[in-house]
Structures are given as C-alpha cells and as structure tokens.
Amino acid sequence: MSTSLIETQGVSKIFGAFTAVDKVDFGIAENDAVGIIGPNGAGKTTFINILTGNLIPEEGKVLYRGEDITTIKIEKRIAMGILRTFQLVHIFDNITVYENLALSFYRKDENRTVPFNMYLVNFLKRKKIREKVEEALSVFELEKKKDDIVGNLSLGNQKMLEIAMAWIADPDILILDEPFAGISDHEIDDILIILKKLHHKKTIIIVEHKLSKLTELVDTLCVMHEGKVIASGPCEETLNDPEVRKSYWKIEE
C-alpha cells in the first residue's frame, strides 16, 4: 500500500511528435510540501495539469488516496480536494476580492449544481459564505482589500488572492504554479509567511524558479528536465545530485 496522497506511475503527455512529460513517477505524502523545479519547457506545468485533470496523459496512471483518477474531470477532482493556482493568474478582474472568494467557495460547496444567485437566496448559505470568506480574508491578510476590484490589485495581491481562492475550497492538496513569478521580493515574503502557516496542515506542491525562496518552505525537491524527473529527495541532497549538477546547473565535471 502506497503512503502517497497523490502519485503518478509512468505518466506521459505527448503533443504531436513532442513528449512534454516522459514516464514520470511521482508521489507526495499527506501534509508534506514538495517543490518542482526545472528549466523553462521542462514539463512542470504540463505535469501538474495531469495531476489536476486539465490534461489526460497518453500513458501511465494518476492515483489519489489509492484510487485511479487518471481520466476523472477537473470539477470532480476539485470536489475531491485537489485545488490549484495558475502560472498566469485566473481570477475575475471586474469584481471584488470578497466576491471572488465567495464564488470560489460556492464552486466547491455546490459543485455548480445550484446557480450562484439562487444559492445566495438561502440565508444559511449566505451566512456560511460570509463566515468562510471572512476567515480567508484574515488568514491571507486581505481584509483591507476586500472591497477592491481585483483588476486594480498589484500582481502580488492577485497571486495571494488566487491562493486564498484555492484555500477557501478546503483543499487536501494545494498545487501552485509559479506563485512568485513577476512579483517583488517583499510580496514573495508576504506569500511565504502565509504558506508557512499552511505547511504540514495541507499537502502542497509548488512549481517555482525562485529556488532560494522555495527551499524556505518545501521539505523535498523534484527536478524535471526534458519531461523527465532526473532527481528527487531532500533539498540539499537533490541539488547536489550529479545529474542535477549537469542538467540543471550546467556544471561540467
């Protein structure tokens, strides 16, 4: 019996003649945090798209709590507790922070079977949303921004909001694709403080290029190169792996 909360066995994703993800075996135990690193085009986003159901692999399996979910749809995986953020933020620009959080909570709670306006008619549901959104605003320190239109926020705040939107759906696994890309060191540190609070309470998978920030958070690293996982394990050991030195650091020995 595997101890991984989510794992892949030999998954591959092929675009035409190009293999973007090549027979990847991966696993993460519940409440651990793993960083996925690798050069541009290594297949990191494609791999997490396989975990979330945005892409179905041509070969291999995805197992969640031991169950084969390889071909299960995105919405069902969200309901199962697999939530993600995107390399380019996916939020509704023209509504407020509060409304984005409320919508995200509703999406998980009702799985979209009841239209949002009908859902809000129900007083108890409204109360539940209000309480949960207020909790999210507090955990992510977004109280002061709650009435701001999201399109007017800094990219750092938008990234924070997107993580809060995943968190409010009560994920078992939080998958973050480059949460630190394009934002200032100060904004990265703000997000890191929050993620550290979630560490060992949620299972976290982070794709990130900013290695020094990433290793402040994760327990293990998984290094991808040309679609393959070339090394994985504790951070320092993995970064000193001979294959990683050659392919990732480009150190000739």
Ligand X SMILES: Nc1ncnc2c1ncn2[C@@H]1O[C@H](COP(=O)(O)OP(=O)(O)OP(=O)(O)O)[C@@H](O)[C@H]1O
- List residues near ligand X by CB under 6 A: 15, 18, 20, 38, 40-46, 87
Q: Which is nearer to Mg ion, 137 or 176 (CB)?
A: 176
Contacted by 228, from Mg ion, ligand X, none: CB < 5 to 8 Å by type: none
Contacted by 102, from ligand X, Mg ion, none: CB < 5 to 8 Å by type: none
Residue 59 one-letter amino acid: E
Least Å distance, CB 15 to ligand X, is 3
Q: Which is nearer to ligand X, 84 or 108 (CB)?
A: 84
Least Å distance, CB 41 to Mg ion, is 8
Contacted by 46, from Mg ion, ligand X, none: CB < 5 to 8 Å by type: ligand X
Residue 113, C-beta contacts closer than 8 angstroms, at least 6 positions apart: none
Structure tokens given for 3: 């101890």
Least Å distance, CB 60 to ligand X, is 16
Q: Which is nearer to ligand X, 20 or 82 (CB)?
A: 20
Q: Which is nearer to ligand X, 46 or 104 (CB)?
A: 46
Question: Where in 64-123 is the site for Mg ion (CB under 5 A)?
Answer: 87
Binding of residue 45 to Mg ion (CB under 5 A): yes
Contacted by 42, from ligand X, Mg ion, none: CB < 5 to 8 Å by type: ligand X
Contacted by 35, from ligand X, Mg ion, none: CB < 5 to 8 Å by type: none
Which residues here bind Mg ion, judged by CB under 5 A? 45, 87
